[in-house]
Amino acid sequence: MATEAPATAAVAAELPLDDPRALAAVSLIWREAHLLDARRYEDWDGLWAEGGEYVVPIDRDATDFASCLNLVYDDDRMRRMRIERLTGGFSISAAAAARTVRSVSRFVVTGREDDAIEIRSAQILVGYKREETFVLAADVTHRIVFGADGPRISRKIVRLVNSEDTVTASGFLL
Amino acid sequence: MTTTPETANPSTTAADRVGGDRVAGTLYTDPALFEQEMDRIFHRTWVWVAHESEIARAGDFKTAWVGRRPVIVSRDRRGGINVLLNRCRHRGASVCETPKGNGAGFTCPYHAWSYSLDGTLRGIPYPEGYEDVVEKKDLPLQRLKVGTYAGMIFASFAEEIEPLEDFLGGARMWIDRFMKQGAGYPIKVQGEHKFRFRGNWKIQLENTTDWYHFPIVHRSWMSSVDAETASMLSIMTDETAVTHALGNGHSVSVSVAEHADLDVDDGTEKLQDRFSHIVEELSKDLPPEKVRRIVRSLHGAGFNLNLFPNVAMSMAFFRVLRPLSVDETEVRHVALGLEGGPDIVNRERLRIHEHFQGPFGFGSPDDAEAWNRVQRGVAGGADMPILVNRGLGREKPNDLGQPTSHATDETGMREAYAMWKRMMTDGN
């Protein structure tokens, strides 16, 4: 299944509406956006397949994330520690987290396997904190696996448009 | 005619605003003072611009800043290091907007005046109009004075400036020690995190040798790492955790004394369990003492070294500050690795860096929140002083004569503000 960065990948620009898995994936991604904006991180963890990989790279063209510096590069353990940090009450930035409203759209299925699909989307997040409103835009790639428990996220890569420049973040997740 | 405090002679106002153990809150909020700082500090002292590994090959370049002026750091064909003002001599356009790369030179996109890697003006298109008007040799990109020490590249707009080695002075021993985290391999830059906070640059300057904040602001990070890592940083009660004022505004704060000089190993320290997979992997090719030397260095050096005015060498990374305005500052956390070293070691160092640093790390966002709160709070009482007097009563000279106190004391801040005051008032 393709893992290249959007800029270099040959993208099949369509959302196949005749494939029920595509709509199930879109539904899952919208639910994920809802949970993240609501900061329901424990529920968000439940959307992940075991061994899931959550990446916010700095280099938008990177594919070998292990060998370069990322903003986020989480396995299950790191993701759960991150959730603990955001909900545990010991982080002053998480306690004063920005409010966020995000929209995820422009879905395109870029890979299909028997038990998984890869789907790409655009995410526009508007944050607000202390008199300041800001925008973060990103290309997002989800790999969604379909098992006995229904669809789960096995990989999520968030490529911010400004990942190589200064990035503003205030106690929330992308 | 009346003179407001904001526009008064900088020599008197700066002197009035900095005492030995407290500074005026207006140091963070006065826009006129900020402009004076750019001229009197950033544009006439040594400012860090790059590490040599970032421009290792001929033709390599990166862009950087000296104060608010954009510069290019380049490696020319003869191996020389150049720091050039990123401004065409014709109409002033920037000649390079690529953050890093490799090339033969720089060509202005406006009228295609082209410059070589050392800034020499090579070509002017359609030169007919310039006969008897322009001599190319008179119009290179403006070159800054360049100094290097232990791979650290500094630049200055001041032609008459003391040698870099003299400026670094008492910090040099600590720079040498910092580089020992390479465990025999040269240090290389492995990437960087970049973020901004709403606050004055001096709030950041104060932070690196402030261990007093660490167990409080970074409680969520401490609770996420294993007990061994957290206990390495049990600074508040550790009598061996000390801070030294090194002169010229520089200071060092030792957090893990047994890692202050990584070449010294009495053999009693147990390697951390979290690195056992690395020990296993390295042991396939390397002798036990070499493996131990590398693994003891994974967290970097056991101290934070603050070099006035814009770079710190902290544990396993460089922290670079860039003043943007009186109340906004950019911070870069530059991740370090071992040039030619084992991949598994460099990857582990990347993971350690990601865990704490950057806008989504477990540490940096909490620092940024605290710094922002200083800026917001201080505006509420600009006349009230900022206290940097912690540990004043227990500060004593060490055997080098450097003022020394506990790592949680504010000796480093007092040193930085003494230098700030000297630079802001001398020559008046």
Q: What digits encode the pLDDT tens for the residues B361-418? A: 999 999 999 999 999 999 998 889 999 999 999 999 999 999 999 999 999 999 999 9
Helix axis angle, B411-425 to B10-17, nearest 10°: 170
Distance from CA of A163 to the nearest CA of B (A): 9
Share of chain B above pLDDT 70, in %: 96
* Separation CA B64–CA B176 (nearest Å): 24
- pLDDT for B428 equals 59
- pLDDT for A170 equals 82
- pLDDT for B291 equals 97
* Separation CA B405–CA A124 (nearest Å): 49
Please tell me which of the candidates B190, B196, B359 has its beta carbon nearest to residue A69. Answer: B190
**Is there a contact between B224 and A84 if contact means CB atoms under 8 Å apart?**
yes
**Is there a contact between A69 and B217 if contact means CB atoms under 8 Å apart?**
no
Q: Are B61 and B81 contacting, i.e. CB atoms less than 8 angstroms apart?
A: no
Among A55, A61, A69, the residue to mutate for chain B (most B Cβ within 10 A): A69
Please tell me which of the candidates B193, B355, B366 has its beta carbon nearest to residue A92. Answer: B366
- pLDDT for B232 equals 67
* Separation CA A33–CA A138 (nearest Å): 13
Q: Are B367 and B333 contacting, i.e. CB atoms less than 8 angstroms apart?
A: no
Diameter over CA atoms, chain B: 79
Span B318-345, average pLDDT? 98
| Dihedral, A34, A38, A43, A49 alpha carbons, nearest 10 | 50
Confidence at A168, pLDDT banded by 50, 70, 90: confident
Within 10 angstroms of residue A9's Cβ, the number of other Cβ atoms is: 16
Q: Are B416 and B308 contacting, i.e. CB atoms less than 8 angstroms apart?
A: yes
Chain B CB within 8 Å of residue A87 CB: no
pTM for this predicted structure: 0.94
C-alpha count within 13 angstroms, C-beta hemisphere, residue A85 = 31
Q: Quick check: helix, strand or coil at residue B390?
A: coil
Selection from B152, B208, B210, B145 nearest residue B176 by Cα: B152
Distance from CA of A144 to the nearest CA of B (A): 24
Provide the CA B132 distance to its chain's centre, in angstroms.
Answer: 46
* Separation CA B230–CA B242 (nearest Å): 18
**Element holding B215 (H helix, E strand):** helix B214-217
Tokens of B342: 């084992």
**Is there a contact between A67 and B370 if contact means CB atoms under 8 Å apart?**
no
* Separation CA B418–CA B205 (nearest Å): 13
Distance from CA of B15 to the nearest CA of A (A): 34
* Separation CA A79–CA A85 (nearest Å): 10
Q: Are A68 and B347 contacting, i.e. CB atoms less than 8 angstroms apart?
A: no
* Separation CA B209–CA A37 (nearest Å): 36
- pLDDT for B360 equals 94
Within 10 angstroms of residue B191's Cβ, the number of other Cβ atoms is: 18
**Is there a contact between B224 and A167 if contact means CB atoms under 8 Å apart?**
no
- The 3-state secondary structure of B273-342 reads HHHHHHHHHHCCCCCHHHHHHHHHCCCCCCEEEEECCCEEEECCEEEEEEEEECCEEEEEEEEEEECCCC
Residues of B within 8 A of A82 (CB-CB) are: 362
- pLDDT for B237 equals 84
In DSSP terms, B404 is beta-bridged to B244, B396
Within 10 angstroms of residue B137's Cβ, the number of other Cβ atoms is: 8
* Separation CA B288–CA B267 (nearest Å): 12
First to last CA, chain A: 23
- pLDDT for A5 equals 57
Provide the CA B118 distance to its chain's centre, in angstroms.
Answer: 25
Residues of B within 8 A of A72 (CB-CB) are: 354, 360
* Separation CA A131–CA A126 (nearest Å): 13
Written as one string, the DSSP assignment of A88-100 is SS--HHHHTPPEE
* Separation CA A133–CA A99 (nearest Å): 9
Chain A CB within 8 Å of residue B145 CB: no
**Is there a contact between A167 and B355 if contact means CB atoms under 8 Å apart?**
no
Q: Quick check: helix, strand or coil at residue A18?
A: coil
pLDDT at A2 over 60: no
Looking up tokens 């966002």 gives: B365
Q: Are A160 and A5 contacting, i.e. CB atoms less than 8 angstroms apart?
A: no
CA distances from B298 to B259, B315, B336 (A): 11, 9, 10
Q: Are B252 and B242 contacting, i.e. CB atoms less than 8 angstroms apart?
A: no
* Separation CA B32–CA B166 (nearest Å): 30
Distance from CA of B358 to the nearest CA of A (A): 6
Selection from B55, B359, B224, B174 nearest residue A87 by Cα: B224
Closest residue in B to A165 (Cα–Cα) = B194
Confidence at A16, pLDDT banded by 50, 70, 90: confident
**Is there a contact between B350 and A81 if contact means CB atoms under 8 Å apart?**
no
**Is there a contact between A93 and B330 if contact means CB atoms under 8 Å apart?**
no
Q: Are B10 and B424 contacting, i.e. CB atoms less than 8 angstroms apart?
A: yes
- B130 backbone φψ class: left, alpha, beta (φ>0; ψ -120 to 50): alpha
pLDDT at B2 over 50: no
Distance from CA of A105 to the nearest CA of B (A): 24
> Which positions ≥6 away from B165 have C-beta within 8 Å?
B147, B149, B172
**Is there a contact between B224 and A81 if contact means CB atoms under 8 Å apart?**
yes
- List all residues of chain A from 134 to 163 with a beta carbon under 8 Å from chain B: none
Give buried/exposed letters for B73-98 (b at 16+ CB in 10 A, else e). bbbbeeeebbbbbbbbbbeeebbbee
Q: Are A135 and A43 contacting, i.e. CB atoms less than 8 angstroms apart?
A: no
Tokens of B57: 């090959």
pLDDT at B6 over 80: no
- pLDDT for B10 equals 54
Q: Are A16 and A22 contacting, i.e. CB atoms less than 8 angstroms apart?
A: yes
- pLDDT for B298 equals 97
* Separation CA B375–CA B405 (nearest Å): 27
Tokens of B19: 């005492």
Looking up tokens 């009563």 gives: B393
Strands (E), B110-217: 114-116, 121-123, 145-149, 152-156, 187-197
**Is there a contact between B193 and A88 if contact means CB atoms under 8 Å apart?**
no
Distance from CA of B351 to the nearest CA of A (A): 8
Q: What digits encode the pLDDT tens for the residues B105-150? A: 999 999 999 999 999 999 999 999 999 999 999 999 999 999 999 9
Q: Are B303 and B253 contacting, i.e. CB atoms less than 8 angstroms apart?
A: yes
Q: What digits encode the pLDDT tens for the residues A106-135? A: 999 999 998 999 999 999 999 999 999 999
Residues of B within 8 A of A168 (CB-CB) are: 195-196, 359
Chain B CB within 8 Å of residue A38 CB: no
- List all residues of chain B from 175 to 204 with a beta carbon under 8 Å from chain A: 190-196
The highest-confidence range among B8-22, B217-231, B248-262, by mean pLDDT, is: B248-262
Q: What digits encode the pLDDT tens for the residues B180-238? A: 999 999 999 999 999 999 999 999 999 998 988 888 888 888 888 877 777 766 788 88
